[in-house]
Amino acid sequence: MKKFIKWFLIILVVLGIGLFGAYKYMISQTKKASPEDTVEYTQGDLELSVFYNRPYKKGRVIFGSLIPYGKVWRTGANEATTFKTNKDLIIDGQKLPAGKYSVFTIPDENNWQVIFNSRMYSWGVKGPNQSSINRKYDALIANIDVTSTDTVVEQFTISFEDNSGLALVLSWDQTKIVVPIQQ
């Protein structure tokens, strides 16, 4: 009986190590296709940061196809995109209190809804074509016009621009979304 328990425990440990290794391998392969990035903006005492994953176009039609119009998108890949601010902000004429938010979008051909959700989600989706967002935690929804570009952006990119005022910029394929930010 002791021999059976000993072998059972050995097999259990080996299986556990194998499953852990397989999980880590799967995550590393997923990250290669859509690597993580963090963008930061600091001016004076204002500190902003965005954590997101950057999928590639790879010759695909992005908006209206891979990312359907009218459906909530996790705004990147893998984990939910997060936006952090240490100061209250004004976005699309609305107050966004200092804090950390998950960012989701609802793309459309001419206008996007950019959603700052106060809940943190470990993953951006909970199943095929299902966003993990719980809309009752929406802190702010900004309606932003789409800008078409002549240049194709191969890898999804989020940046901060401070040309004629601070803005959070989302770019992919030939689509650009400029979200004005004020203090």
Query: Sheet holding 81-85: strands in order across?
Result: 36-43, 46-53, 81-85, 99-106, 111-117, 138-162, 166-182, 89-91, 94-96
State whether 127 and 45 are in the same domain: yes
State whether 25 and 38 are in the same domain: no
State whether 60 and 27 are in the same domain: no
State whether 128 and 70 are in the same domain: yes
State whether 25 and 49 are in the same domain: no
- Looking at the structure of the chain, the number of domains it has is 2
Please give the model's pTM, rounded to 2 decimal places: 0.81
What is the pLDDT tens value at each position of the chain, 183 positions in all? 788 788 877 888 888 787 776 666 665 555 567 899 999 999 999 999 999 999 999 999 999 999 999 999 999 998 899 999 999 999 999 999 999 999 999 999 999 999 999 998 877 666 566 677 889 999 999 999 999 999 999 999 999 999 989 999 999 999 999 999 999
State whether 7 and 22 are in the same domain: yes
State whether 39 and 26 are in the same domain: no
Helix (H) or strand (E) holding 145: strand 138-162
For residue 61, give its domain range. 34-182
State whether 78 and 105 are in the same domain: yes
State whether 60 and 76 are in the same domain: yes
State whether 1 and 62 are in the same domain: no
State whether 2 and 90 are in the same domain: no
State whether 24 and 50 are in the same domain: no
Q: Look at residues 71, 75, 52, 47 and name the one whose alpha carbon lies nearest to residue 181.
A: 47
**pLDDT attached to residue 124:** 63
